[in-house]
Amino acid sequence: KQRALNFSYLKEWVKAPSRAEDGIGDTTAMLIGRAVHVLVLEGLTKFLNLFEVIDVGSRNAKAYKELAAQSQKDIILQSEWEMIQGIRDAIKAHKMARSLLMQGHRECSAYWSEQFGDDWLGMKCRMDSMQPNRKLIVDLKTTTDASPDQFPREIAKFGYARQMAFYQRGIHQITGDFYAPLLVAVEKKPPHLIGIYSLDSDSMQLCREWVQDKLVQYHSWMKEPKSKRNMGYDPRIFEVRLPQWAFYE
């Protein structure tokens, strides 16, 4: 049975199909981000069902390793737990962020299918907050710098705008409406400053075109016999340029 394609898989598939097949490793940053989402969007009870907090200095501590080996839950350090609570409290104290994240449908999943040639591709996404009354899709991101000068760099670097274009595409397929994407960026360090960002029309159009192009490529790849599918990086020769700093060293 064909899997329902989500954005995380598509993003890794673009780099190299084998990376998508192997799955994305769970870094500490990803673990903390997931913990923030659960506490903020689903509450303390759900958090305690999924995470366990231990008061040790690092993940190299013997007590941490012993707990991680026997616990069915993800393990969060006490210092990380205090940070996660601080992020939750900062969002609750921020009128706009609270309104965007705590209203509407939280942790909302959507499923749809699209036709490519004679085939149908099943797709899915999970949105932090979907607000039908306001036609909004809202995503929560943790960051080191949520300022207008720096966070747009992270939007580009980590593909956040492409992710929102994928979500927007899915909701349009389901409802016929275009929902406006918003990103709520919260800094990890106190006082957990918050920046809220929309994406201009040119950026969204660029990202919608990227999603369309990659879905067409993915469909063509899926049509290939498994024995002939390229699983690594693009086999063509690429001319590349050194980063700008290399010219000044």
Q: What is the pLDDT of residue 109?
A: 93
Are 7 and 67 in contact by the 8 Å Cβ rule? The answer is no
Lookup: tokens for 49: 């069902």
Q: What is the pLDDT of residue 160?
A: 97
Q: What is the pLDDT of residue 107?
A: 93
Whether residue 191 is preceded by a cis peptide bond, meaning omega within 30 degrees of 0, is yes
Q: What is the pLDDT of residue 25?
A: 64
Residue pLDDT tens, the chain, 249 long: 457 899 999 999 999 888 887 776 678 888 999 999 999 999 999 999 999 999 988 888 999 888 988 999 999 999 999 999 999 999 999 999 999 999 889 999 999 999 998 899 999 999 999 999 999 999 999 999 999 999 999 999 999 999 999 999 999 999 999 999 999 999 999 999 999 999 999 999 999 999 999 999 999 999 999 888 889 988 889 999 998 999 997
Are 138 and 127 in contact by the 8 Å Cβ rule? The answer is yes
Q: What is the pLDDT of residue 117?
A: 87
Q: Which of 20, 244, 5 is nearest to 120 (CA)?
A: 5
Q: Residue 141: left if φ>0, alpha if ψ -120 to 50, beta else—which one?
A: beta
The span from the CA of 99 to the CA of 119, in Å, is 40
Q: What is the pLDDT of residue 74?
A: 92
Q: Which of 167, 173, 177, 240 is nearest to 204 (CA)?
A: 167
State the pTM of this model.
0.90
